[in-house]
Structure 1
């Protein structure tokens, strides 16, 4: 079953290294690019970039006091999301999908997310595919690469090639979307 939510992003025109988001009206998040994108090629149908981000998250108690001020501080874009999530464990050296059992908490692995996104009423739906590795910092890149390669090896080829030209972070995608449209 997909998770459905509405997020709001603060627009930083031409900025691809910082993202500011109100997550479903309950959390305020800031993400900053911690390392430049690195190219990852899985096969002729799947290639893209990996990057590392630092995230700061603040809960709703803090947010309630600032929400009105935040909305006056710049242009915000509403993004509707329908998220399909899978959690993969890399514990034990093999990539294994975790069931919905909440008692299983892997120390190392990767979250995989397919999301249908719609920006306001200004566009047709977009699809995003994201992988978020977790675990010991020294193993994040290795875990991510191993998971991505395993995921795409075990699936049918994607219906369209996933190329480096369409591989970008949310801040990069929003900057491109905003600059390509007459979004107000």
Structure 2
């Protein structure tokens, strides 16, 4: 099981150009298609299917609102993650859930940059496939769901359990130091389960 601490924001529309330009430009966009199990009014559990992998996340704790400068405020949350891979390809197939309305298709175009925390508390960008003992990743994602267009910005801290909050603070303080985009507010800061309920609750 992997434990992370995350900050995430969701906003409708295309990614603003000023945020596109602020985000590291060496990150190649990755297209993906995920299927989420929609559980109404349940913002602490996320179940996602992608190809032959099933991912389950559950919120362990809400850590309150964090602020970085005048433009950034978000709700930090601690999440546990469990991943099951099917090497045979016989289970966890998206085709098995196409016709089931409780599974929701989300199309994504994501860019990801990972950083490692050095012994002197500075951060260093690393390649996408490099393993990190203590660090944090930042992602920006264009989303398409139910004919609606949204975007999301997120930070996810990984590493030794006792260093997770410190890693998130170090990362956020560094990457948001030169942030000049729209104001990111706590009201728009939540994880995927809450976002799904916000979108799909209108259809119930």
Asked if TM exceeds 0.5, the reply is yes
Q: Give the TM-score normalised by structure 2.
A: 0.78
Distance 1:156 1:32, change over 3 A: closer
1:30 paired residue among 30, 43, 56: 56
Gaps of 5+ in 2: 1-27
SS at 2:167 equivalent: helix
Partner of 1:156: 179
Q: Which residue of structure 1 aligns with residue 188 of structure 2? A: 166
| Equivalent pair of 1:19/1:32 in contact (CA under 8 Å) | yes
| CA shift for structure 1 position 126 | 1.0
What number of residue pairs does the alignment pair up? Answer: 175
Map of 1:1-184 to 2, 5 A cutoff? 1-23=28-50, 25-61=51-87, 64-65=90-91, 67=93, 71=97, 75-92=102-119, 93-99=121-127, 102=129, 105-120=131-146, 122-123=147-148, 125-153=149-177, 155-158=178-181, 160-179=182-201, 181-182=202-203
Give the strand-richer structure, 1 or 2.
Answer: 2
Q: Is the 8 A contact 1:28 1:63 kept in 2?
A: no
Question: Alpha-carbon deviation of 1:96?
Answer: 1.7
CA deviation string 1:63-89 (max 9, x = no partner): 733548973876111000111110111
Q: What TM-score comes out, normalization by structure 1 length? A: 0.86
Deviations 1:147-172 (A, max 9, x none): 0111100x2311x2100010010111
Give the RMSD, CA atoms, in angstroms.
2.2
